[in-house]
RNA sequence: GCCCCCAUCGGCUAGCGGCCUAGGCCCCCGCCCUUUCAAGGCGGUAACACGGGUUCGAAUCCCGUUGGGGGUACCA
C-alpha cells in the first residue's frame, strides 16, 4: 500500500482557533506515524474574506506548533486557470450546467420548499434548459453560475474511518454551485478537485464537513477519480457545548502562546480531545504522540475544550523541562511578551529554578516572582490578612531580628534562623511566615520563602519588613 | 422544515458481550508535607439519557424515544 498523502487546507479568513489546530494536528500525526506526506494548501477562493495577514499567521502558528509540511504552501487563487479549464470540460460533457436563476428567485424557491416540508435544495430549474434557451440568456448577458448535475436517484455512501458506514439520498443533495458568477470555484469544487490533483489519499477533517461529502464525491465521479478514505473528526466545542467561537474567551492558538503555554503542551492537550492512547496515559511528548497515533482510536463524539486541563498539562510539561531549558524558555517568553524583566536575563536565570515547580504557565511568572525584580504592588487581600492578625507586628519583629543575625545570607541559614524564631515565639511556621511573605512579595502566594529571601538580599529583605512594620503601626 | 452525526462522572476519556460492585486524568472536597500555595503525597464525591428487544449474560448488539451537535450560501 502506497504511503498516505494528507492535506491541511486552512481558509485564511480569520484567526486560527484550537479546533482548526486540532484537525491539522491529526492530519500531521497520521502522516508522520505512517510515513506519509503532508500537503499545505490555502483555500483562499473567497477573496472578500481571505487576507495575506491570515496566511502569514497560519504558517506562523503551524511552525510554532511544530507541524510541518512536505508540499506547499499552495494557494487556490494561483490555480484559477486549472479550475477554469475543468469547468469548460465539465460543461462540454454535460456533467455541469449554467444556471441563470437570480438570488431573488432562489430565495423564493427556498421559501416555497420550506413551506412544503421539502429539503432546501435547488430545484434544478436551469438543468433542463434547451440549447436555444441558454443561447438566448447568454445573448442577454445574464450572470450565471455553474452547477454540478447531481445524480437524481440512488444513494452515495462512505465507510468513514471514525464513523463507519454513512449514507445519503442523492435526490436530497441538489445541484450545488461549483463556480460563482465571477468564474471562481467554490469550496465544493476546488477542494475535491485539488485533492484529486494532489493525490490526497486520506481526507481527515471536522465533522462539520461530513454533510458536504456526497456532493464532493459527485465531483470525484464527474472527474472520474477514485474517492479518498474519509475520517471525520469530532467537533471541538466551547463550554456551552456550542461550536467554538470568540465568545468562548481564549480560543486562538496565539492566545495560548501569549499566555505562556508551551507548544508541546498544547499539542499534547489537543491530541487528547477526540483521541486517546489507552485508559491511563495523559502526559506525552510529541515523538510519543507520533509513535502512538492511529485513526482507529479517534472517538466519534464531540468534546468540550477545557482550558483548565490544558494549563495543568502545561505545568506538567514545564516541570518536565531540564532547568536550563526552563530558564531559556522563560527568558524567551519574557522577551517575546515585551516584559521589562527580560532586560535582566541573569536575574531571570537565578529566579527560574525556584519557580519551575509551581508555574502552570509562563505568563504567571511576573505576578508570581515580580517582587524579586523590584518593588512589587501589595495585594489588598493579602495585606488584609496580615492586618487581621493582631500579633503580626510581633512576628515581623521577631523575623527581622532573626534575619539580622544570619551570618551567611543563604537559604539554609535563613531557614535555621527563622525556624529558631518560630521556636522562640512558640508559634507554627505558617503563622510566622505569612506576614513575612506578604511583606517581601506583596502576596500570599509566592516561591519558596527561604530562597526568595536569599535572592532578595539581606538589606532589601529587612527594608521591606521594616516598611511593613511601619505601615502596621500607622 | 429537511438531512447527517453523536450520547459513560461537572469536563476529557477507557470500555469494542461475561475481566465493570465501570478504570484514568482535569476540576471540586478533605487530610498530609513543624512554609503561604497554584507544586508533591494520600483519600473522597461523582456517570453507563430513557424505553423496548436480542442473549444464559449488555455500558457494550438492534429498534424507538428524548437530548445535544452539525449541515442545509455565488463561506470554507
For residue range A244-278, what is the model confidence (pLDDT) as tens digits? 877 776 689 999 999 999 999 999 999 999 999 99
Predicted local confidence at residue A250, as pLDDT: 66
DSSP code of A183? S
CA A185 vs. chain centroid, Å, equals: 29
Asked if residue A319 keeps its beta carbon closer than 7 A to nucleic acid strand B, the reply is yes
SS3 label, residue A275: strand
| Distance of C1' in B48 from CA in A424, Å | 59
Contact between the CB of A304 and strand B at under 7 Å:
yes
Specify the pTM. Answer: 0.94
Percent with pLDDT over 90 in chain A? 72
Angle at A256 between CA A255 and CA A259, to 5 degrees: 90
A19 CA, B18 C1': Å apart? 39
Report the interhelical angle of A18-34 vs A263-271 (nearest 10°). Answer: 80
At residue A23, the pLDDT reads 96
Grid cell in block for residue A374: 523590584
Q: Residue A97: phi, psi to the nearest 5?
A: -150, 155
Q: How far is the CA of A237 from the C1' of B70 (A)?
A: 11
- Report CA A429 to chain centroid distance, whole Å: 43
pLDDT at residue A198, rounded to an integer: 97
pLDDT in tens, A159-215: 999 999 999 999 999 899 999 999 999 999 999 999 999 999 999 999 999 999 999
Kindly state the cell numbers that stand for A207: 465533522
Q: Which residues of A are known catalytic residues? A: 246
Helices (H), A250-372: 253-258, 263-271, 286-292, 307-320, 323-336, 345-355, 365-369
- Whole-number Å distance, CA A369 to C1' B50? 54
| pLDDT tens string A371-383 | 999 888 888 888 8
Q: In this model, does residue A424 exceed pLDDT 90?
A: no
The reply to whether A9 Cβ lies less than 7 angstroms from strand B is: yes
A172 nearest nucleotide via C1' and CA: B3
Q: Is the distance from CB of A449 to CB of A436 less than 8 angstroms?
A: yes
Burial class (CB in 10 A: 0-12, 13-18, 19+), A4: buried
Q: How many CA atoms lie within 13 A of A186 on its CB side?
A: 15
What number of helices (H) and strands (E) belong to chain A?
Answer: 20, 12
Residue A91 has pLDDT above 70, yes or no: yes
Cβ of A59 near strand B (under 7 Å)? The reply is no
For strand B, the positions having any atom within 7 A of a protein Cβ are 1-8, 10-15, 23-27, 34-40, 68-76
Going through A362-443 in order, the beta strands assigned E by DSSP cover: none
A110 sits within 7 Å of strand B by its CB: yes
Evaluate whether ipTM surpasses 0.90: yes
Residues 60-99 of A with CB under 7 A from strand B: none
Amino acid at each position: 500500500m502506497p504511503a498516505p498523502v494528507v492535506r491541511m487546507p486552512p481558509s485564511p479568513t480569520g484567526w486560527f482557533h484550537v479546533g482548526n489546530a486540532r484537525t491539522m494536528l491529526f492530519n500531521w500525526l497520521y502522516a508522520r506515524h505512517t510515513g506519509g506526506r503532508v500537503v499545505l494548501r490555502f483555500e483562499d477562493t473567497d477573496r472578500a474574506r481571505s487576507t495575506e495577514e491570515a496566511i502569514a499567521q497560519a504558517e506562523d502558528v503551524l511552525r510554532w506548533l511544530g507541524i510541518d509540511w512536505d508540499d506547499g504552501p499552495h494557494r487556490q487563487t494561483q490555480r484559477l486557470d486549472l479550475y477554469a479549464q475543468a469547468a469548460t470540460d465539465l460543461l462540454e460533457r454535460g456533467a455541469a450546467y449554467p444556471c441563470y436563476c437570480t438570488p431573488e428567485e432562489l430565495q423564493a424557491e427556498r421559501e416555497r420548499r420550506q413551506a412544503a416540508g421539502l429539503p432546501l435544495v435547488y430545484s434544478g430549474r436551469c438543468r433542463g434548459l434547451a440549447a436555444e434557451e441558454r443561447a438566448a440568456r447568454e445573448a442577454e448577458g445574464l450572470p450565471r453560475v455553474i452547477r454540478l448535475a447531481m445524480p437524481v436517484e440512488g444513494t452515495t455512501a462512505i465507510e468513514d474511518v471514525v464513523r463507519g458506514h454513512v449514507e445519503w439520498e442523492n435526490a436530497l443533495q441538489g445541484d450545488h454551485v461549483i463556480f460563482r458568477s465571477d468564474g471562481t470555484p467554490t469550496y465544493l469544487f476546488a477542494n475535491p478537485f485539488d485533492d484529486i490533483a494532489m493525490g490526497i489519499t486520506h481526507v481527515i477533517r471536522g465533522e462539520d464537513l461530513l454533510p458536504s461529502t456526497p456532493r464532493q464525491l459527485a465531483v470525484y465521479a464527474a472527474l472520474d477519480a477514485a474517492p479518498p478514505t474519509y475520517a471525520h473528526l469530532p467537533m471541538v466545542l466551547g463550554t456551552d457545548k456550542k461550536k467554538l467561537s470568540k465568545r468562548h474567551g481564549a480560543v486562538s492558538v496565539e492566545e495560548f502562546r501569549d499566555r505562556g503555554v508551551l507548544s508541546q503542551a498544547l499539542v499534547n492537550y489537543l491530541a487528547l480531545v477526540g483521541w486517546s492512547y489507552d485508559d491511563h496515559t495523559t502526559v506525552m511528548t510529541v515523538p510519543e504522540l507520533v509513535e502512538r497515533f492511529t485513526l482507529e482510536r479517534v472517538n466519534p463524539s464531540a468534546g468540550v475544550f477545557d482550558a483548565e486541563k490544558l494549563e495543568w498539562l502545561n505545568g506538567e510539561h514545564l516541570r518536565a523541562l531540564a532547568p536550563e531549558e526552563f530558564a531559556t524558555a522563560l527568558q524567551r517568553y519574557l522577551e517575546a511578551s515585551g516584559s521589562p524583566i527580560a532586560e535582566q536575563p541573569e536575574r531571570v536565570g537565578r529566579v527560574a529554578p525556584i519557580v519551575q515547580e509551581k508555574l502552570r504557565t509562563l505568563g504567571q511568572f511576573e505576578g508570581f516572582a515580580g517582587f524579586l525584580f523590584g518593588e512589587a504592588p501589595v495585594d489588598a487581600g493579602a495585606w488584609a490578612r496580615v492586618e487581621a492578625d493582631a500579633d503580626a507586628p510581633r512576628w515581623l519583629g521577631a523575623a527581622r531580628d532573626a534575619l539580622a543575625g544570619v551570618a551567611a545570607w543563604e537559604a539554609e541559614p535563613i531557614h535555621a534562623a527563622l525556624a529558631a524564631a518560630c521556636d522562640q515565639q512558640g508559634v507554627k511556621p505558617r503563622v510566622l511566615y505569612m506576614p513575612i511573605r506578604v511583606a517581601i512579595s506583596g502576596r500570599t502566594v509566592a516561591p519558596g520563602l527561604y530562597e526568595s529571601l536569599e535572592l532578595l538580599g539581606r538589606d532589601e529583605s529587612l527594608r521591606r519588613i521594616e516598611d511593613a512594620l511601619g505601615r502596621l503601626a500607622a
